[in-house]
Amino acid sequence: MSTPPPVDLDDLLVDLRRLVECESPSADHAAVARSADLVAEIGTARLGQPPERITIDGWSHLRWRFGDRTTGRVLLLGHHDTVWPIGTLERIPFRVEAGVLRGPGCFDMLAGLVMAIHVVASLTDRNGVTLLVTGDEELGSPSSRQLVEDDARGATAALVLEASADGGALKVARKGVSLYEVGVAGRAAHAGLEPENGVNAAVELAHQLLTVAALGDPRAGTTVTPTVARAGTTANTVPATAGFTVDVRAWTAEEQQRVDTALRALTPVLPEAEVSVSGGINRPPLEASSSAEPATRAHRIVERLGLPPLSTAAVGGASDGNFTAGVGTPTLDGLGAVGGGAHADHEHVLVDRLLDRCALLHALVAELLEEGP
């Protein structure tokens, strides 16, 4: 296979700037819709055909399907929503200085999205390619999960354009994510006159919080982290209600299930207190076995094309790649931009790495399409 044609860097940067300057915080449906309009405009101009526009529960998603293959498809996956609120551009404007590109959402993951559009545009044969761009990934993909899983089923591979790990490393494993709300019901009473007649939900919360935190297993890499807690209404009232949220991360489905079972078995310590648990497993793990074949393929490609050598990483954060792996599709994540600072003020992309990442993606897609299912 010949070396892939180069993507025009200037054109890529023009499109990336337009997307960065179209702020798209995930929870703002109107902002996500405006961003989807722009992604559709850019994609239509570059790809020569408009996307399918899919709106679910107020969130805007886009999908391009090329050719007539029903098997052997290659799924390219990205999202256009970001974590940054409207107005962030006033504080962190788009700019490129000394080869470093900055701006809210540039690294996570608007650069990867633009790369995907330009690489697909450069393919001489797109038959069998699906490009899915979702609008709620940063919230855990509440409306788009089914889209992602449906497009992944039966695909030869899912290539996820999330930003790379440190130094450009591909993400070959991701922890699964579970999210819970633990609620406590007690009984209110005057804290000065008759506290003994109350059932203190805050005290019960403290018991439950320590029990939950102890479910983590450092040896297995499982973290169980109580996060936001609340209790009570006024300073002189025994709290009648309380609650806290729990973030669980695990490398294996078995560990996710162990913690889930334990959380649902929580029982109150104080007489007459009540404990409830809602939520559950949000994303299954992306286990290393799911990435093994496409990662090996990527290593062969960079060696053959003389591209910068690749490293790999296992990371705690999740992506839609967890869903594609969860339905059994070989998945390679972290194929997007090289840089750093996701979700932070120092978010940035290394401009001089954009083209070699595009070359890798181009070669991966072309090779998978040539081989078929």
CATH number of residue 278's parent domain? 3.30.70.360
* CATH number of the domain within which 70 lies: 3.40.630.10
Report d(CA 190, CA 203) in Å as an integer. 16
Task: Based on the residue annotation, tell me whether 81 is a catalytic residue of this protein.
Answer: yes
Of 283, 317, 335, which closes a domain? 283
Of 259, 283, 307, which closes a domain? 283
> Which of 202, 174, 164, 168 has its CA nearest to residue 186?
202
- Tell whether 90 and 216 lie within a shared domain: no
Q: Which helix (H) or strand (E) holds 295?
A: helix 288-305
- Tell whether 169 and 182 lie within a shared domain: no
Residue 190 belongs to some domain of the structure: yes
Task: Based on the residue annotation, tell me whether 151 is a catalytic residue of this protein.
Answer: no
Question: Of 81, 108, 136, 287, which residue is the catalytic one?
Answer: 81
Question: Of 15, 137, 333, 347, which residue is the catalytic one?
Answer: 137
Enter the tokens of residue 356. Answer: 């070699």
Residue 275, domain extent = 176-283
Per-residue pLDDT tens listing for the chain (373 residues):
445 557 999 999 999 999 999 999 999 999 999 999 999 999 999 999 999 999 999 999 999 999 875 556 999 999 999 999 999 999 999 999 999 999 999 999 999 999 999 999 999 999 999 999 999 999 999 999 999 999 999 899 999 999 999 999 999 999 999 999 999 999 999 999 999 999 999 999 999 999 999 999 999 999 999 999 999 999 999 999 999 999 999 999 999 999 999 999 999 999 999 999 999 999 999 999 999 999 999 999 999 999 999 999 999 999 999 999 999 999 999 999 999 999 999 999 999 999 999 999 999 999 999 986 6
- Tell whether 132 and 260 lie within a shared domain: no
Of 283, 313, 339, which closes a domain? 283
CA 365, distance to chain mean position in Å, is 21
